[in-house]
Amino acid sequence: MSHSQQTFTNLGFVKTFVLPALFIFVGPLVSLLFFLHAQHRYDSEIRAAILNQIDSEQNVAPDEKRAARQFFERVRVSQLLLTPEGDQLGLPDSTLRDYATFRWLIRLSIASLVGGVLVFAFAGICVLVSLRSQYAQYLSLLISWQVLRIYSALLTIAIGIMLVALSYWVTALWLNAFSVKLVVIAGILALCGVGAILAAIFKRPKHDIVVEGVVLPKDPSSSLWQALESICTKVGAQPPDQIVAGIDDNFFVTEQPLTADGKKLTGKTLFVSLALLKQLHAAEADAVLAHEMAHFSGRDTLFSKKIAPLLQRYEAYLDALYHGGYTRPIFYFMLCFRALFELSLGKHSREREFRADAIAAQVTSPHDFAGALLRIAAYSKFRTSVEQDLFSQEQALVTADVSQRIARGFPDYATAFSADPDVGLSETTHPFDSHPPMLQRFQAIGVQLNANDICSRLKVVGDGRWYYHIPHADELERAQWEEFEEQFRGFHESTLAYRLMPDNPAEQAIVERSFPALKIEGKQSAVEFDFSKCHHTPWPDPLPFNEISSSELNDSGVLSIHFTRAGKRTRTIDLNKFSQADQATILEEYQRYYGRYLSAVDYQQAKKLKFEALVPGMTASETKTDT
């Protein structure tokens, strides 16, 4: 990366995270300046009254008057009130209470500002320390999270107090009046903000990890576990407690609790892709599994397990701050350090991957590991393209034959993939960590692959030896593909309803399965919806969605729908003539049915623009039958 690129990146980070974080100081600073001003104004008014009283005294010698004037001109009343001499001023109790209010709000504002600076510096140091090691990262995140959480909670309470105080004193001081309504609103905002933060502090967010696959229990006598034991011995790691075999296009290990195959799993888990194992050569699979076991030997999964709950609670806390109203500046303050820790997390994640790569290359060979990465990346990219191609079809899928299409087309695609000049920029997928681009990983293990090397490796179909280590692998894989493809087909059809503008019975049937004709009857009238229009009994005829320009609901419970037909016109639905439940249903279904129409319009318009850009002079409708 060039210096100019780095400078731009740093500048972008400052603009996106650091500058918004500084807004945390705005509230306390405004409060400090205002209450200093309020105190100074009281000092000036009371000093003027005292000086007038001194001048009016007839029985006091001129020297004594002069000395008294000099004293009160030199010493502020607010200072005197902090000494025993302040009692001699004889100020009313209400004035003393006002001074006490100003004094404590000034102290609260200063404490908030100083605390912000100290916490800012402390969290910054923690981020720097976290770069040293995974253990330092965990401790830094743990400690800084506690400090940031406590400080932000205290600051939320402090700003709430300042907000209520300002809502009263700004008008009272400058206008000699105050608004009860304004104070009540400020108080409600403060209570809501404090309540949201306190709830977030004690809330433990649920984070259930569900992995699709079949659990393969530990069986030391099976060839699968014996082969894996051999890999673990070479790597210096303990074998996993269980293996989950699925059809996702990745491999990973974790120590986080998860659910798979309806079972709650704890301990060390290895996920293997049946679909990928069938494509890999034995040595390539050895390299991949050695890489995964190296994460166990490096305690990577242990620290991921420790850090994950902290990050989950951090995210939940950020969400509470974001939606807490006046706590938004505190959100940006916390977000800044979450972003900084992301740099640390990314650094250690990359280091973990490079370490595991090096071990895998030593256990097998650098070229075997490089070949595995290439084959996995090619498979993942091809599978994505197959799914996207199927998903883009604007007709119901009789079958979503994803696995068959992959099996038929992958050999040819792998060869084409090897000729892609950007192959080195590809990354393999992972549910928990980010992976460096393959070119960097190849360079780290000393592999320089050219197009011919890549092509020769990918042209040879893998022997799938590890696949056949798994008992009944064919049956397990087929069952999972069938379930996946059925879900894919159902999801595809449900989204078709939001893409189609039906112009034939088949398309209309697809849309009507998700948006059937619906009638909501009240005591005096009814409202009807279908995929293309809505109707209310008092109306002379149905109103097509393509004529609607806007709609609005007023405070009286009347829904006004504006449309264009021989000029701008409006039709209304008086929701008061329906039950409370039906009112909610009418609004919900109106938004749903009309929203479906708008989504379809947007989709078809985007498709038309894309097609006309590819084939100038021809509209998409002219080739619809071919498509």
DSSP string across 605-619: HHHHHHHHHHSTT--
For residues 479 and 523, membership in a common domain is answered with: no
Q: Check whether 625 has a pLDDT greater than 70.
A: no
In this structure, is residue 2 part of a structural domain?
no
Which residue range is the domain that position 118 belongs to?
11-202
The total number of structural domains in the chain stands at: 3
For residues 226 and 104, membership in a common domain is answered with: no
In this structure, is residue 499 part of a structural domain?
no
In this structure, is residue 418 part of a structural domain?
yes
Chain-centroid distance of CA 206 in Å reads 15
Q: Check whether 572 has a pLDDT greater than 90.
A: yes
Q: Check whether 363 has a pLDDT greater than 60.
A: yes
Neighbours of 181 (CB within 10 A): 9
Do 288 and 279 meet the contact criterion of CB atoms below 8 Å apart?
no
In this structure, is residue 393 part of a structural domain?
yes
Main-chain dihedrals φ then ψ at residue 114, nearest 5 degrees: -65, -45
Main-chain dihedrals φ then ψ at residue 471, nearest 5 degrees: -60, 135
pLDDT of residue 30: 94
For residues 187 and 224, membership in a common domain is answered with: no
**What's the Cα-to-Cα distance from 62 to each of 31, 54, 58, 69, rounded to whole Å?**
42, 10, 10, 10
For residues 179 and 252, membership in a common domain is answered with: no
What distance in Å separates the CA atoms of residue 191 and residue 324, rounded to the nearest whole number?
A: 10
170, 202, 234 - which closes a domain: 202
pLDDT of residue 4: 39
What distance in Å separates the CA atoms of residue 69 and residue 84, rounded to the nearest whole number?
A: 19
- Compute the average pLDDT of residues 174-203: 86
| Domain harbouring 521, CATH code | 2.30.29
For residues 108 and 248, membership in a common domain is answered with: no
pLDDT of residue 422: 60
For the stretch 419-454, pLDDT in tens is: 665 654 455 554 445 567 888 888 899 988 776 777
More confidently predicted of 306 and 458: 306
Q: Name residue 416's amino acid.
A: A
Q: Check whether 83 has a pLDDT greater than 90.
A: no
Main-chain dihedrals φ then ψ at residue 220, nearest 5 degrees: -60, -20
490, 522, 553 - which closes a domain: 490
In this structure, is residue 123 part of a structural domain?
yes
Place of tokens 């708008």: 598
What distance in Å separates the CA atoms of residue 560 and residue 573, rounded to the nearest whole number?
A: 7
428, 461, 490 - which closes a domain: 490
In three-state secondary structure terms, 538 is coil
What distance in Å separates the CA atoms of residue 118 and residue 323, rounded to the nearest whole number?
A: 26
pLDDT cut 70: percent of the chain above it: 93
**Contact residues for 179 (Cβ-Cβ < 8 A; gap 6+):** 167, 171
* Among 503, 543, 536, residue whose Cα is nearest residue 522: 536
For residues 216 and 192, membership in a common domain is answered with: no
For residues 237 and 379, membership in a common domain is answered with: yes
176-180-182-186 Cα dihedral, nearest 10 degrees = 120
For residues 177 and 221, membership in a common domain is answered with: no
For the stretch 38-74, pLDDT in tens is: 999 999 998 888 888 888 887 778 888 788 788 888 8
What distance in Å separates the CA atoms of residue 13 and residue 35, rounded to the nearest whole number?
A: 35
For residues 485 and 515, membership in a common domain is answered with: no
For the stretch 200-226, pLDDT in tens is: 877 777 777 899 999 998 888 899 999
What distance in Å separates the CA atoms of residue 598 and residue 606, rounded to the nearest whole number?
A: 12
In this structure, is residue 3 part of a structural domain?
no
Token reading at 610: 């894309």
What distance in Å separates the CA atoms of residue 559 and residue 536, rounded to the nearest whole number?
A: 11
E-strand spans in 516-611?
Answer: 518-521, 526-529, 533-536, 543-544, 548-553, 558-564, 568-574
* Among 151, 430, 145, residue whose Cα is nearest residue 307: 145
For residues 288 and 150, membership in a common domain is answered with: no
For residues 33 and 124, membership in a common domain is answered with: yes
Sign of CA dihedral 558, 562, 566, 567: positive
What distance in Å separates the CA atoms of residue 407 and residue 619, rounded to the nearest whole number?
A: 35
pLDDT of residue 10: 66
In three-state secondary structure terms, 258 is strand
For residues 147 and 291, membership in a common domain is answered with: no
- Compute the average pLDDT of residues 310-331: 88
- Rounded-to-5 percentages of helix, strand, coil across the chain: 65, 10, 25
In this structure, is residue 484 part of a structural domain?
yes
**Contact residues for 467 (Cβ-Cβ < 8 A; gap 6+):** 274, 277, 278, 473
3-state SS, one letter per residue, for 398-461 = CCCCHHHHHHHHHHHHHHHHHCCCCHHHCCCCCCCCCCCCHHHHHHHCCCCCCHHHHHHHHHCC
